Each structure stands twice: as C-alpha cells, then as structure tokens.
Structure 1
Amino acid sequence: METPAIPLPKDEREQQILDRLTVIRDKLLLLKRDRTKYIRTQDVMELYDQLVEQVKQLNHIRKGEHKAENRLDKVLEGCLQLISLFFMTIGRTTEVPAAYALTSTIKRLLDHLTEASLFSPKDLTSISNTLGRLEGIIQNADSEHSPYLVELLAQREALCKSMLANLRKQLDQLDEPLQAVYERLISIMRSMSLANTKAKFSVSEVQKFKSKLKEIQDSMVDGKFVDPEGKELRGSEVVSTLLGRCLLWSDIVLERKGIIPDAFQDKYTILINIRNELEKLSITQAWSLRETDLYDFQRQLDKIDEARVDGNWLDQDGKPAELYVHGTLLYLIRRSYGYIYYLMNSSEPVSEALLPIYNQLQTLKRCLIEVQNSGGVGSVRELYPYSMKLNSIDNMRVDGKFMVGDDIPEGQGNVSELLAECFDLNYELRVAAEELEDAGKETPPSQPAA
C-alpha cells in the first residue's frame, strides 16, 4: 500500500498504534479484495472494534492536543474511510461509521466548488439534504460507537455546513432573474467540458453551446444585465464575469479540440478511465457496485488532486499546466467526486448478500406500479408470472428470515417490507381483475337487432 511521504510519529506509543493500525488496514484491504464470498457483518465488526480500541488509545495519548500531522494520521484516515465503506456494503448505512466516507467526499466537493466558484443551486440543495440526513445519524448515535468518532463526524459535518452557507451567500447576492441565467451558464460550462473530454471531439456540439452563450450576451444592455425598466440587476457583474469565463473556455476548447499535451497525458488518461468507470457504475450500481470498491477510486483521485502546487499541476520541468490542461483535469476530478458522492448516497440499507433479492423486488415493484398506472390487467391469469416470482422469493425465507448459509445478513426488515409491498400491489391488481371478470359474466350478451 502506497503511503504518502509524511513523517513517522516521534512518540513511541504512537508508533505502536501506527503498527497496529497498519495491520488493521491491511486486513480491511484483503477483505475488500476477496470477491469469492460476500462481506459478513461479523468480520467487519471485529475489525471495527479493533479500530475503535486504537482510536481510544490514541485519544488518551494526545488528550485532545495534536498539531503536526504524521504517518499515523494518514493510516488512521485510510482505516476510517475503509471501515465506513464496509458499513455501507453490509447495509448499515444509517450508522455513524457509514457517514464518515460521505463527509470526506462532501468536503472534497465543497472545496472544489469554493475554489472554482462554479456551482448551481441544485448542487447546494443536494449537499444540504445529505448533511441534514447525516446530522440525524450523528444525533441518534448509540453507545456502541466510539464517542471520538461521533465527535469527529459532528465537527466535519459542522465544517461542511459552514462552507455550504458561504457558498449560499454568493448565490443570494444575485437577483432572482439572474439566478436562472447563472444556473444556465453553469450548465453550459459543464456541457462544454463534457464535450471536451469525449472520446471523439465534436466541433459542432461545442459551437452550439457557444451560440447559446452569445444569445445570453446579446440579452445584455451596455454590458449589463437589466430588468424590464432598464435598471441594473443585483449581481450583474458576477454573472457577466462568469459569462466571460464561459466564452473564453468555448474558444479554448474549440482551438484545442480535446488534445492534451504529452506532459500531462498520463494524468489525463487515469482521470478519463476513472470518470468512465464511475459513470458505468452510476448506471448499473444496483447490480454491480460493492461500496468498498470506491476506496480505490478515491485514493487515485486524492493522489492526483493533492499533487497540485499552489492549485496547479507541474510538468517534469516544474512549469505549471496551462489554463486548458488545468481546467480539463479539474473538471474530470470534480466529475468523478460527484459520481462517488452519488453512489454513496444511493447505497441501499441492505447487505450485499441480500442485494440480488432486494434488486429483484425493486424491479417487481416498479413493474407492478407500471401495470397499475396503465389501467391494471384484463384477467387474473396475466398476474401469474408476478405471483410465481413473489412466492418463490417468499419461499426462500427460513423462519421468516433470508439466510445465506448460517448467516442472517443485514437488511432483513427492508427486504421483508419491500416483499410485503409487492404482495399488496399484486393483491390489489388481482382484486380489480376479478371484479372486472365478474362484471363481464353478469352483463348479458347484446341481442342482435330484429
């Protein structure tokens, strides 16, 4: 495992904790890589308890005082990140440890939004909703979880809320009509960046976006955004500056046509591959995602992101990347963190062992709702395939539980509740179909005209 060049702890007691944490981290990595069997709750909890014990000892040594970061902090961060993703994988998504990885990703996103000053109200609303959910998890934390971890999460959540409030202030400086223009410009900027990183560059696609920018520019009066009475709108200068950035970016993208210099080609290739893999997972995540896999993506992204010097990447000669390269690489990093945020947020409160059943029931529920919304079925016979599938899943239970070997995986309540919902929908459709059939029997056939 590659560890950044950060000094070892000077305190002998911290060195001993570092050694034990390294063993725990390696065990977590081995467990993560084993695809031959699903991840069991008891295996995760055993390592979690070991980790909490080391955190307790470290807290006792430092007594709340710690200034310089050393290797121990980095390894501890890796352990907490991994254990958090393991809690998601086993379906314990509403517990404190599961929230840790999400706060890390939110902090990254907010750092980037603040740095770039490119964000829309939708971005902030989504993050705000997630932070609200995490706050509920922290407030309802039980005694099973380390007070240190609960306190750490509360601090991180408060920091994220503070950063979010600062971003909101920037949007609040815009008059309402300009907020819509601002959001449209953000959307165009992101669309151009996406077009710029496609396998095949399309000049016409980017030109269309540039035309939309020109339309917005043409709506200005003497270089300002004004209301119907001709009065300058509040925030006109901010939106005008953003429009200028968008137009400049469109010109640069059309000139460079997606070609990255050799000096930064390696980073670009890595980031393109990460973005593409995460995009695939965002489409198929219900069937193919093991949350612990996100750790490797995060680590690669963090490494490239943290390699910047004064906010920019340097080539082999120490020269900073030009605006085109800088903007392209940053877009890919931000897009990838965005996918990771989405995938973590979409994590189901069900163990990966039960996910195949849970996903089948989700599909069945969607189908039954679709049938119901389209007017139901003409006869009970049409419901046979749904009934047979539901009964086959119901028959998998042993004493009311879905077992995997001798284990009872997490998420039993969620799967049983979803199964019950499907049975209810199926029953409602059957009753409606029976009433339809009975009504057909009672109606006498029409007599032929005399």
Structure 2
Amino acid sequence: HPVLEQLIAIRHRLSALKKDRDSYTKPETVLNLWNDTKAQIEKLSELRSENLWNSDSRNRVNDVLDDVMSLLSLFFMSIGRTRESPAVYAQLVTQYLDQLVEMGVYTEALLLPTEGRLKDIEEIINADAQRPDISEPIIKLIRRKLAKCKETLQALLANLHEVSEDLKPVQNELVELRRQLSILAGRAGGFSETEIQEIQKKLRKIDNRRVDGKFMAPDGSIPAGQALVVGLLEQLFEETHDLMASTDSISESLTPIADRLKEIKGQLERLSLTHRWTLRETDLYTFQLQLQEIEKLRVDGKFVDSEGKVPEGQTLLNFLLRACYRLMSKMLSESVPVAEALMPVYNQLSTVRRCLIEVTKWGAPDSGKSYIRNGRAGALSNSHNLSVRELYPYQMKLASIDNMRQNGTFYDEDGMIPEGQGVCVAILNECYDILHDLISKVEDEDNSNSDE
C-alpha cells in the first residue's frame, strides 16, 4: 500500500525529529512534513471515496495516520502555531472523555472548561476551512475527531441535566467522595484500610437517607435522576470494596500494570509542575503511546489474568489511567502560542512579571487600598517602604531581555523570527508599565517625605 509506506516514512522522520534535543525544531521542517502528510490524506480520500474515516474500514493505515497526525499536532504546538487545525488534533483528547463516561463521575464544573475548549477548537477549524491551502479531506479528518469529543461531552452533560435540583446536593457529595477515593488510589505510598472505611461510613450515611430505595425531595416527592445518583452510589460501594481488597496488595497479575501506571502518573505530575521550562509538547506523545498499550490489555473493559479471570484491583487501575489522561489533557490545554526557541524569553518575562506583581502587593507606600487592576500597580501595602535602588534589578533584567531584540523583534539562533512575538512583547510592555508605576509611586512618597 503506497500510502501506508509513505505514512510510515513520515512517522519515522517525525520520530527522529522528536528525539533530536540538541536543537530547536525549525518551522519549515514541520511544515514540509505537514505538506507531505496532506498529500497522503488527499490520496487516501480519493482511494476510499467518502468512507475515508468509516470505523468499519479502520486498518493499519488509519492507525499510522493517527500517530502521524498526533505527532505533527504536537510539533505545531512546539513551534507556537497553536491556533491552526493541525495543532488542535492532539488537544482533542477523546480518551479523557471516554474515561469520564466509564468512571461515571463528573460535575458540570469539570465539564464546562472542556466545553469551552471544544468551542474554541471548532472556531479554529471553521476559520481554517476557509483557507485555500487546507483541503476538505484534512478538515473532515479533524472535524470527525471533534464530533466524537462533542458527542461524548453532550452525553455527559445530558446525564447531568437529568438530575433535578433537589438531587444535585447528593450527587455532589458522591462526586466529592469519588474525588477523595481517586486521591487515595493514586497516592505513591498506597493507602490504608481505615482510610477506605471512613469513606464507606459516609456512603452508608448517604444510603440511609433513601426511603424504599429512593432519595426524596423536601416536599416528599421523588425527584428526577434517581437512576444516575443511585447508580453512582452503588458504583462507589463497589469501588471501595475493590480498593479495600487492594490495600495489602492488588492481584499479582495486575501489579506490573499498576506499577507502570504509577510511574507514568509520577512523571506526568513532575512535568506538569515544570513543563513551562522543560516540556516539549512532543514528549507527551510517548506517554500517549504507553497508555494506549496499557488500554489494549483490557478485554471487554476489564484487565484479565492469564486464565481470563477478572482479578481484584480494577478500580485502582481505572483511577490511575484517568489521572494520567487528565494530566495530559491539562498540559495540552495550557500550551502557549510561543515557539520553543522563544520559550526561554517567555519564561523569564513571566517570572519578572510575577515578581513585580508580588512587589506591587507588598512592597511600597500605602494609600489604603492594596490590589492590582489589569496587572497595573494599584496602591500598595505598608509592610515595607521600597526604594528606587531596590527596583534596579528588575530594570536591569528587563533591559537585558529587551536588548535581545533587533529592530523590536526577537530572532532565533538561525536568524529566523519564531512564533510568539506578540505574546512576549505584550508581557515585556506590561512589566515596564508596572515598574514605571512603582518607581513613580516611590519617588512621590520620597518627595512628600522630604516636604514634611
């Protein structure tokens, strides 16, 4: 299959590029690979007619294409082109929503940011659909993935809307207990039987509120949404039972999977804390592949042992999987439209801005109000009277960053102009504004003191 061969070759080139950590990824390299991929998608579209993404015709070509699109998507993010169709492909993390469906525990507060992100992605795709350089098969491919996410999200929201206002407090209590269980299950040092028993006690209290198996409204009526809330309660009882069985040790056959998931979760947690400084978006692809491999071990949604039996410890693995997908989804949604070559500048400016805002909060003359409006220095608290001398380091740091520009533009080491100029210049200007406000306030205070 010529298309498959070409896609495999593109995947090899992308993998090699991902492993090269000695230099920043050049935008033209990514764009050349993207053009090659577009050509293959168009060929595939001609070959398969309208059945290009029919799930019945899924085969190795689809799987390799999905790999290629995921990697390309992450590369588009790493060169700062986050608001283009290829970049959104990896952000459509269908597995995270699938995990929510499977686990059955979510609130509107958890789903609303996802809904907002999907609307944003849809706008990006609609804008790109008008561009002459992006053909219909490409847009169809990305729209197909978006549609799957939207469909899952709508099903989740519809379930929530089934629950009447009278039942919402019970549902929220159960979701909070599930969150506590999730924290226990993911804890590196494990958890004790007593901790699980505490949650079981709370579940029994909630269960005791039922009358003839139903939760009642204050007026004695039976509110809508019983099936969902009672189902959630029963599921939590099952999960606490399963986790109790896992306190000493989970089934021997599942231990390697649990250990691997804990390791992945730990690595993702460390990355999520430091990712602005150390993460290449393409690093997430490796984790995605590892999680997919683990998911493939399931039979009918369950992890089984060598004899085909379903051992204790399913809940623990599901909690760990969901935590990994949630961390990946969070990091992808936080990606800023700044190319990798410009990230050191962006990080330094963000740090200076954060420091200046802190100084604004606590470090200068007081005029009775202490807050900042739109990042500009407002009045300041009186815990410490600043001097102009103490603001010199900030002036020097901003000047050194500003001096990296040539004719107002930041260049990379190859003399190219990386994405993210607007973002960096906006933060630089904001820092100057805050600094100038601080200096003028300090000088005004000095003048008023000398007048006295």
TM-score (norm 1): 0.89
Tell me which of 288, 302, 323 is aligned to 1:298.
288
| SS of the residue 2:77 aligns to | helix
| SS of the residue 1:396 aligns to | coil
Q: 1:318 to 1:211 in 2, by over 3 A?
A: closer
Q: Report what 2:434 is aligned to.
A: 425
Q: What is the deviation of 1:149?
A: 1.8
The amino acid of 2:47's aligned partner reads I
**2:35 is aligned with 1:35:** no
The amino acid of 1:183's aligned partner reads N
Q: What is the deviation of 1:420?
A: 0.9
Q: What is the deviation of 1:264?
A: 1.8
Whether contact under 8 Å (2:243, 2:316) holds in the other structure is no
In the TM superposition, 1:44-443 aligns within 5 A as 44-66=30-52, 67-103=56-92, 105=93, 107-141=94-128, 142-203=131-192, 204-221=194-211, 223-257=213-247, 259-319=249-309, 321-322=310-311, 324-374=312-362, 375=380, 378-405=386-413, 406-443=415-452
Q: For the residues of structure 1 that align with 2:293 and 2:327, how far apart are their CA atoms?
A: 17
The amino acid of 1:32's aligned partner reads K
Q: Deviations over 1:309-361 (max 9, x none)?
A: 22222222222x23x42222122111111111101001111011111110111
Q: For the residues of structure 2 that align with 1:164 and 1:149, how far apart are their CA atoms?
A: 23
Q: For the residues of structure 2 that align with 1:419 and 1:155, how far apart are their CA atoms?
A: 40
TM-score (norm 2): 0.89
| SS of the residue 1:402 aligns to | coil
Q: Segments of 4+ in structure 1 off by > 4 A? A: 218-223
| SS of the residue 1:409 aligns to | coil
Q: Deviations over 1:280-322 (max 9, x none)?
A: 1111111121110111111111122133222222222222x23
Q: For the residues of structure 2 that align with 1:171 and 1:121, how far apart are their CA atoms?
A: 7
Structure 1 runs not aligned, ≥5 long: 1-14, 444-450
Whether contact under 8 Å (1:89, 1:290) holds in the other structure is yes
Q: For the residues of structure 2 that align with 1:227 and 1:83, how far apart are their CA atoms?
A: 52
The amino acid of 1:368's aligned partner reads L
Q: For the residues of structure 2 that align with 1:241 and 1:78, how far apart are their CA atoms?
A: 37
Q: What is the deviation of 1:255?
A: 3.6
Q: Deviations over 1:79-114 (max 9, x none)?
A: 1110000001111111110001111x1x22222222
The amino acid of 2:137's aligned partner reads Y
The amino acid of 1:199's aligned partner reads A
Whether contact under 8 Å (1:24, 1:79) holds in the other structure is yes
Question: Is 258-267 or 287-296 further displaced after alignment?
Answer: 258-267
Q: What is the deviation of 1:208?
A: 3.3
Q: For the residues of structure 1 that align with 2:434 and 2:170, how far apart are their CA atoms?
A: 44
Q: Deviations over 1:45-97 (max 9, x none)?
A: 11111111111222222222345222222111111110000001111111110
Question: Is 309-318 or 124-133 further displaced after alignment?
Answer: 309-318
Whether contact under 8 Å (1:353, 1:409) holds in the other structure is yes
Structure 2 runs not aligned, ≥5 long: 363-379
RMSD: 1.9
Whether contact under 8 Å (2:186, 2:319) holds in the other structure is no
Q: What is the deviation of 1:223?
A: 4.3
Q: 1:256 to 1:156 in 2, by over 3 A?
A: closer
The amino acid of 2:122's aligned partner reads E
Q: Report what 2:368 is aligned to.
A: none
Q: For the residues of structure 2 that align with 1:341 and 1:333, how far apart are their CA atoms?
A: 12
Question: Is 241-250 or 383-392 further displaced after alignment?
Answer: 241-250
Q: For the residues of structure 2 that align with 1:97 and 1:258, how far apart are their CA atoms?
A: 46
Whether contact under 8 Å (2:188, 2:262) holds in the other structure is no
Whether contact under 8 Å (1:96, 1:145) holds in the other structure is no
Q: What is the deviation of 1:128?
A: 0.3
Q: For the residues of structure 1 that align with 2:425 and 2:296, how far apart are their CA atoms?
A: 45
Q: Deviations over 1:128-168 (max 9, x none)?
A: 01101101111111333343222222232233222212211
The amino acid of 1:306's aligned partner reads K
Q: For the residues of structure 2 that align with 1:144 and 1:338, how far apart are their CA atoms?
A: 34
Q: Deviations over 1:386-411 (max 9, x none)?
A: 11111111011122221222222211
The amino acid of 1:110's aligned partner reads L
Q: What is the deviation of 1:222?
A: 5.1
Question: Is 52-61 or 93-102 further displaced after alignment?
Answer: 52-61
Q: For the residues of structure 2 that align with 1:93 and 1:258, how far apart are their CA atoms?
A: 46
Question: Is 170-179 or 142-151 further displaced after alignment?
Answer: 142-151
Q: 1:440 to 1:121 in 2, by over 3 A?
A: same
Q: Report what 1:17 is aligned to.
A: 3
Q: For the residues of structure 2 that align with 1:368 and 1:193, how far apart are their CA atoms?
A: 37
The amino acid of 1:310's aligned partner reads D
The amino acid of 1:240's aligned partner reads V
Question: Is 339-348 or 371-380 further displaced after alignment?
Answer: 371-380
The amino acid of 2:30's aligned partner reads V
Q: For the residues of structure 2 that align with 1:255 and 1:62, how far apart are their CA atoms?
A: 50
Q: Deviations over 1:198-220 (max 9, x none)?
A: 23233243333334334433444
Whether contact under 8 Å (1:41, 1:410) holds in the other structure is no
Q: 1:145 to 1:255 in 2, by over 3 A?
A: same
Aligned pairs, number:
425
Q: 1:39 to 1:99 in 2, by over 3 A?
A: same
The amino acid of 1:413's aligned partner reads G
Identical counterparts, % of pairs: 36
Q: For the residues of structure 1 that align with 2:387 and 2:170, how far apart are their CA atoms?
A: 52
Q: 1:327 to 1:395 in 2, by over 3 A?
A: same
